[in-house]
Amino acid sequence: MNILYLDLETFSETPIKHGTYKYAADAEILLFAYAWNDEPAKVIDVTNADTYPHGQIAKLLINADIIVAHNSMFDRNVLHYNEWETDLSKWRDTMIKAYSHSLVGSLGNLCTILGVEADQAKDKDGKKLIQLFCKPLGKHRNLDRATKDTHPTEWAKFVEYARLDVEAMRAVDKAMPDWNMASEIPHWHLDQIINDRGFKVDTELVDAALIAIDIEKVRLAEQAQDMTGGAVESATQRAALLEFILKEYGIDLPDMQKSTLERRINDPDLPSAVKDLLNNRLQASTTSTSKYQALARSTNSDGRLRGTLQFAGAARTGRWAGRTFQPQNLPRPTMHDDAINAGIEALKHGCAEFITDNIMELTSSALRGCIIAPEGKKLVVSDLSNIEGRAQAWLADETWKLKAFADFDKGQGFDLYKLAYAKSFGVSPKAVTKDQRQIGKVQELALGYGGGVGAFTTFATAYGIDLDQLADDAWDTLPAQEVEASRSWLAVRKKDKEYEHTMRDKAFITCDTLKRMWRNAHSNINQLWYDLENACRNAINAEGQTFRAGKLAIRRDGTWLRIRLPSGRYLCYPNIRIKDDTIQYQGMNQYTRKWQYLSTYSGKLFENICQAMSRDILAHNMHTIDKAGYKIVLTVHDEVICEAPDTDDFSHEHLSELLAANPPWAKDMPLAAGGFEDYRYKKD
């Protein structure tokens, strides 16, 4: 088998931050570095027209059985826009291989992590050479761009850098495991088709929203200046605003987080002038601006935005991550659909201020609406229903809950959030009120992965539950034995100084008691947490032996801990160890962005597993969905957004059936999905 390793060095006046596809459309190939199998790497200087590189490169691509690149979506598209067509089925990607085994995406970092020899690692001067040859020099230079004619010495180093890059990539490819690649490659190829397809953008709305935002920013800044007598130029100046409020009103705010501001604004004792300032801050700091800017700069000339999905970009779980426009973290709309649609039309006509006094809220709520169906098509959308809760119950054989899901799907049972509350409190689901259902919802979302008072508090705040009021309302219904256990736990926390007095003791005891009641009602899930951690510990201490925890198989191979999912895919934990009685592995710290040892525990492991299993169900069914004519243009968590002909033959009910089909490895798992059809994307 002929394996071709390749890497391209390119020049484009379009910044790479505008996205791979926008960049590739204007990119000029400078160097084509390659290696056959284990042969030494070579470099073709594509700028040397005398050697007729086009035919030479075409021959290489045709003769290759497998083409390997690092971040191959870039190389494949640059080749495409430069009229070198390739067969997608040939492509493999070392970055995808790394992500699929919980490693980092950067080739340089992979060399360090995997111990690739220094002479195979990326040249330290590589970034300087890329800056010199691959980007315009700027107006401050005498030349528009550097070439081999203007900088022959640096060009020779550039060619060697390109050659070393291929050597490093091949060494990294050989150093990595390939446990997951057989099953992941078909999913990744579909992902590439989806990224190539992209989605249609309402560019008129994007342009109108950016104009409205710019005008509103000026107005809000002037308003902040008026309210502070010029002491604060804009409410986005966090330190200045905090200092002004403390100095003028004697109010010391801990931070400017949205939740903090919203809570204080609802405080009846807060001076109205401070409330006005905090409202100004909330509007001025809305994050939708960057999303609209990404849409404006990265959409291709045909009105479609491509390359917004990163396959296996979510560490350990293998879920998709967002790129460029970051569709995975769009803000949740705070306005109703009718108001959003009216606001979109008003934005386009330049008169949004006549229908709302909060332009920032409108533009934030309208972001999803920038994704539209092309002419003659409609968007068909479906989302897996409570998929993580179903995965928890199925993996743990929580039979009563599996039956509850199945009954509810048939229209014969009770809402699961009502049932969660009823199961905890020992009452009839019929008697559960709307407010009590919210408590059940918080229990379900917060406690399935071993969470305690902290997790419960986080979700309760997100869903607007006042913990003090909850404690007062629920106190007399709480079982005395569990209350006493929670009271004792609070005393331990205080003694160990692990408890910050941010809530009343009564509220803490209530939250902890609700946690205990949920765990009592979910004894199998609770037991699986412990079985899972014990199996992991046993595997870490006994290399090559397989230990089981329910439907999961765990073993250590070398320095890797592997958890085999029901789908056959492995969750991977590199450089696993037990230190100070804590399970630790190496991964990317989300805050420091450094590769370092991270700690984990039973609940976190179970969360990784359930999210990974949810992703596997989605990935498995995406193939059937796309082949059925629902052309997937985007996935957001457990949701698929598809373009389909605007006919009755295509419906969200049919799409939901396809999405909720049972894969062969989970035939008895209750699955359900629901969605909608529209010409503009929205939050269902």
pLDDT for 141-158, tens place per residue?
Answer: 566 888 999 999 999 999
The full DSSP string for 399-429 is HHHHHHHHHHHTTSS--HHHHHHHHHHT--G
Contacts for 320 with CB less than 8 Å, ≥ 6 apart:
191, 309, 310, 311, 312, 313, 314, 328, 615, 635
Question: Which pair of structure tokens corresponds to residue 565?
Answer: 């999912």
User: Cβ(317)–Cβ(324) under 8 Å?
Assistant: no
In this structure, are residues 527 and 533 in contact, taking their beta carbons and an 8 Å threshold?
Answer: no
Return the closest-CA partner of residue 8 out of 36, 27, 22.
27
Give me the CATH code for the 377-387+611-678 domain, please: 3.30.70.270
- The encoded tokens of residue 490 equal 């609070």
pLDDT for 140 equals 54
The string over 608-636, giving b where at least 16 C-beta atoms fall within 10 Å of a residue's C-beta and e elsewhere, is bbbbbbbbbbbbbbbeebbeeebbbbbbb
Q: Which residue has the tokens 């401050």?
A: 140
- The structural domains of the chain, with segments of one domain joined by +, span 3-176, 203-372, 377-387+611-678, 399-521
Query: What's residue 164's pLDDT?
Result: 92
What are the CA-CA distances from residue 493 to residues 487, 580, 601 (Å)? 10, 20, 19
pLDDT for position 144: 81
CATH of domain 3-176: 3.30.420.10
d(CA 484, CA 329): 41
Give the Cα-Cα-Cα angle 273, 278, 280 (nearest 5 degrees).
95
pLDDT at 388: 95
Q: How far apart, in whole angstroms, are the C-alpha atoms of residue 431 and residue 511?
A: 21
pLDDT at 656: 98
Residue 454 neighbours by CB distance under 10 Å = 9
How far apart, in Å, are the Cα atoms of 100 and each of 105, 175, 565, 589? 10, 14, 14, 17
CA 174, 179, 181: angle at the middle one, nearest 5? 80
Are the C-beta atoms of residues 107 and 162 closer than 8 Å to each other? Answer: no
**How far is the C-alpha of 480 from the C-alpha of 486, rounded, in Å?**
10
Indicate the pTM of the whole model. 0.92
Q: Which residues, given as ranges, of the chain have pLDDT below 70?
A: 51, 118-124, 139-143, 497-502
Q: What pLDDT, on the 0 to 100 scale, is given for residue 269?
A: 78
The Cα–Cα gap between 511 and 518 comes to 11
Task: For the chain, give the mean pLDDT.
Answer: 91
Q: List 310's β-bridge partners, or say none.
A: 321
pLDDT digits (tens, 9 = 90+) for 117-144: 755 445 567 888 998 999 988 755 566 8
3 state DSSP class of 487: helix
H-state helical runs in 566-642: 602-627
Largest CA distance in the chain: 88
Q: How many Å apart are CA 158 and CA 163, to the nearest integer?
A: 9
Give pLDDT tens digits for 588-644: 988 888 999 999 999 999 999 999 999 999 999 999 999 999 999 999 999 999 999
